[in-house]
């Protein structure tokens, strides 16, 4: 789950990170109210769940009431990477001497939460990682000790010489680590963390992602959820008893069992295709689940073919076939579908499916090849 910058700022503040004040506004009128008799520099910032707002024109400095209102007028309604800007923050702006990057992620290779810092802040860190990976300093954090004082200072010394600043930065790293752990975060990023001319270190942008599987014990985080379109679909699927994750490919997959769903995606890749999703309909053959699953799959405009891959164990293939027939009766679609049934009562199931005219196969590789072929028509 992702949250907006303004929400990350609120969490940061709660944990005592130095963050300039902000006001959230949903309209130009609200901005006008917020900047009445403005006598300081502010920054108007688009609140959307994508990065790179600065480059897209979604971050504007303003010194007067009129300039702030004009900036808000330009930013509200703007399209940034497919996201419409519906709200902005007006934040106290700061003078910047230098911008830094600070981030915490789960590093699967290091098998631990890893602190990353870089003096190349402000720009998108993915770019730095590509072009100058040596400019990003990494420190895998031992989960049993957490980020110890000397370790935090050691990392801060990669960015600052002045011990006063090293202590400020180290404190920020440790607080960010506490936030990361206590909120079941998967990403906590300050980019940029800035040094001001009067030698203050401040967090002026925040990005946080959270582990969806931990949200049940994070009611405060869950309450912040403003799902985007893809996330709404995933939440909807969860409520219907399906595990669905949208991906970027064009072959929709409907599978029973998580392991088989993974294997199906691998198989599609193996033959040169790209899965549009992970979808596990679970062990039951309830037709409603098939209908729900198909509706979710087909609502993805990228899907050009669907591969249904069922292995009947406890689930009986003839039940699944009946469910499919019932489902396909309700869903009228031109998207080609290939069905692979194998296992318990597969023959009965395949016989039932004959009346639908759908191509049926009995091995996974045939199904993957067929789906890829159909997707190219």
CB 207 within 8 A of CB 189: yes
**Which one, of 167, 195, 197, lies nearest residue 98 by Cα?**
195
CB 321 within 8 A of CB 278: no
**Which one, of 2, 45, 57, 1, lies nearest residue 20 by Cα?**
45
Whether omega before 192 lies within 30 degrees of 0, making that bond cis, reads yes
Give the integer Cα–Cα distance in Å for 58 and 70: 12
Q: Which residue sits closest to ligand GDP, CB atoms considered?
A: 54
CB 213 within 8 A of CB 112: no
Q: How far is the CB of 123 from Mn ion (least distance, A)?
A: 9
- When the beta carbons of 189 and 300 are compared against ligand GDP, the nearer one is 189
Binding letters toward ligand GDP, positions 206-245, x by CB under 6 A: ----------------------------------------
The response to whether 94 counts as a known ligand-binding position is yes
- When the beta carbons of 94 and 222 are compared against ligand GDP, the nearer one is 94
- When the beta carbons of 46 and 361 are compared against Mn ion, the nearer one is 46
Positions 55 through 84 that interact with ligand GDP (CB under 6 A)? 59, 61
Q: Are strands 98-107 and 185-195 parallel, antiparallel or unpaired?
A: antiparallel
- Contacting residue, 191, 277, 304, 345, with Mn ion by CB under 5 A: 191
Q: Tell the residue number behind the tokens 């295709």, with chain if given.
A: 273
- Contacting residue, 16, 21, 26, 52, with ligand GDP by CB under 6 A: 52
- When the beta carbons of 94 and 129 are compared against ligand GDP, the nearer one is 94
Positions 6 through 45 that interact with ligand GDP (CB under 6 A)? 43, 45
Residue 51 binds ligand GDP, judged by CB under 6 A: yes
Beta-sheet strands, E only, within the chain: 22-25, 42-46, 59-62, 79-80, 83-84, 88-92, 98-107, 112-118, 136-140, 185-195, 201-203, 207-210, 243-246, 251-255, 277-280, 305-312, 337-343, 360-361
* Residue 96's binding partner out of ligand GDP, Mn ion, none, with CB under 5 to 8 Å set by partner kind: ligand GDP
Distance from the Cα of residue 104 to its chain's centroid: 15
Q: How far is the CB of 81 from ligand GDP (least distance, A)?
A: 10
Q: How far is the CB of 319 from ligand GDP (least distance, A)?
A: 50
Binding letters toward ligand GDP, positions 97-126, x by CB under 6 A: --x----------------------x----
Give the integer Cα–Cα distance in Å for 50 and 228: 11
Which span sits near ligand GDP by CB under 6 A: 91-99, 245-253, 275-283, 352-360? 91-99
* Residue 59's binding partner out of ligand GDP, Mn ion, none, with CB under 5 to 8 Å set by partner kind: ligand GDP
Task: Encode burial over 197-215: b for 16+ CB neighbours within 10 A, e otherwise.
Answer: eeeebbbbbbbbbbebeee
- Contacting residue, 23, 27, 54, 325, with ligand GDP by CB under 6 A: 54
Q: 3-state DSSP call for residue 354?
A: helix
Q: How far is the CB of 53 from ligand GDP (least distance, A)?
A: 3
Residue 257 binds ligand GDP, judged by CB under 6 A: no
**Catalytic residue ranges:** 101, 189
- Contacting residue, 24, 38, 70, 94, with ligand GDP by CB under 6 A: 94
Residues 6+ apart with CB under 8 A from 220: none
Q: How far is the CB of 243 from ligand GDP (least distance, A)?
A: 31
Q: Token digits for 240?
A: 């219907």
Q: How far is the CB of 136 from Mn ion (least distance, A)?
A: 15
CB 89 within 8 A of CB 47: yes
Of how many residues is the chain composed? 377
Q: How far is the CB of 121 from ligand GDP (least distance, A)?
A: 7
The response to whether 45 counts as a known ligand-binding position is yes
User: Which residue ranges are tagged as binding site for ATP?
Assistant: 45, 52-54, 94, 99
User: Which residue ranges are tagged as binding site for Mg(2+)?
Assistant: 191, 205
Using CB under 6 A, list all residues that contact ligand GDP.
43, 45, 51-54, 59, 61, 93-94, 96, 99, 122, 191-192, 204-205
């Amino acid at each position: 789950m992702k949250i907006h910058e303004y929400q990350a700022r609120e969490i940061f503040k709660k944990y005592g990170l130095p963050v300039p004040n902000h006001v959230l506004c949903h309209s130009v009128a609200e901005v006008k109210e917020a900047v009445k008799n403005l006598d300081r520099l502010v920054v108007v910032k688009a609140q959307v769940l994508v990065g790179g707002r600065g480059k897209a024109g979604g971050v504007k400095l303003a010194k007067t009431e009129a300039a702030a209102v004009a900036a808000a007028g330009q930013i509200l309604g703007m399209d940034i990477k497919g996201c419409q800007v519906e709200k902005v923050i007006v934040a106290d702006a700061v003078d910047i001497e230098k911008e830094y990057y600070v981030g915490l992620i789960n590093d699967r290779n290091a098998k631990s939460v890893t602190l990353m810092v870089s003096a190349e802040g402000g720009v998108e860190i993915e770019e730095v990682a590509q072009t100058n990976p040596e400019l990003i300093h990494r420190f895998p954090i031992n989960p049993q000790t957490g980020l110890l004082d000397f370790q935090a200072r050691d990392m801060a010394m990669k960015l600052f010489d002045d011990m006063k600043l090293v202590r400020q930065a180290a404190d920020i790293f440790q607080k960010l680590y506490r936030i990361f752990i206590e909120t079941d975060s998967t990403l906590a990023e300050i980019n940029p963390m800035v040094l001001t001319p009067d030698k203050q270190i401040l967090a002026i942008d925040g990005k946080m992602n959270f582990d969806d599987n931990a949200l049940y014990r994070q009611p405060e985080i869950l309450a912040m959820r403003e799902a985007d379109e893809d996330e709404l679909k995933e939440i909807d699927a969860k409520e219907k008893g399906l595990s669905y994750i949208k991906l970027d490919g064009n072959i929709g997959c409907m599978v029973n069992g998580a392991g088989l769903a993974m294997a199906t995606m691998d198989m599609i890749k193996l033959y040169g295709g790209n899965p549009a999703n992970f979808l596990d309909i679970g062990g039951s053959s309830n037709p409603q689940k098939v209908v729900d699953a198909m509706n979710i799959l087909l609502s993805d405009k990228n899907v050009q073919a669907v591969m249904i891959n069922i292995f009947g164990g406890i689930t009986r293939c003839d039940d699944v076939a009946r469910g499919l027939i019932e489902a396909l009766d309700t869903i009228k679609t031109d998207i080609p579908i290939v069905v692979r049934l194998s296992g318990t009562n597969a023959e009965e199931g395949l016989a039932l499916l004959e009346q639908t005219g759908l191509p049926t196969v009995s091995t996974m590789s045939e199904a993957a090849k067929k789906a890829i072929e159909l997707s190219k028509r």
